[in-house]
Structure 1
Amino acid sequence: MTLPQTHPPRQLRLIIETDDFDEAVRFYRDVLGMPEQPAFATTGDDRVSILHAGTATIELATRAHVRAIDAIENAATLDGPTLRIALEVADTDHAVAVSEESGSEVLARPTETPFRTINARVQGPAGWQVTFFQELETLEQRQTHEGFETDDQRAR
């Protein structure tokens, strides 16, 4: 049984468990400017912060695709799967500058990709890498380029 397309999930919530809650909140809320919404917690060390990140998507990728993106972004390839968040921003250069000023390690400087974005990567809190991407074309424009198709349309 599957959910019908008329009733897909309405929200993606990525839960990042962290030992340094204050640093994670500082980075995502205060440095990146993600608005916080009220959330339930009890007392003491039971803390939670739900931050709005705009539209959410799930990107499923094979190891070969991840390695290709690493090469395009000029980022080091790590052994095994990594935890990575990709955030669309209005200005990749600015997002990297703000992150770097706040003490984040820059893993890959801004670079224009063949898929018409400007990507960069920083090391975020709790072991998560954060990719910033700035769209240079609309989805409609990108779909006219070779290689932009859904998986079921792609020749294997």
Structure 2
Amino acid sequence: MPKGTHNSTLPGCGFHHISIQTVDFDAALRFYRDTLGMREHQPFEVGGRRFVLLDCGDGSFVELQEPEGGTPIPSETVPLAHFALAAADTRAAVEMVRQAGCPITMEPKQVNLGGKLQAVVAFFTGPNGESVELFQEL
């Protein structure tokens, strides 16, 4: 699709970030930051686990997740934990997804990701079993 095309079904839709569950958080951070040139946008912690959003340079991000308990969790999705779609209204988007029959795995929730970064996030399971996050930056 050409840049600037708008989605009239899901206003504000676009790629926000992919989330990667790391094997070695520090090594992954060095690679994405130092080798690929991504800028650290926002480090944060959730339940004692380190996360960081890295700016790809075009307004999209790669999110790195530290392994829970220091050990990567065996999963069908490793290393890709989920992908996120930007949404202008997460709550409205969740209702559309729910009506399409996709299971909601986390209802919309306002979160503080550190500093001034506030968002409303929700998760659902897509039609192929993929984990999808809806992300509305406030």
- Relative to its length, the structure with more strand (as a share) is 2
TM-score w.r.t. the length of structure 1 is: 0.42
Q: Which has the higher contact order (CA 8 A, sep 6+)?
A: 2
Task: Please report the TM-score for the alignment, with normalisation by the length of structure 2.
Answer: 0.47
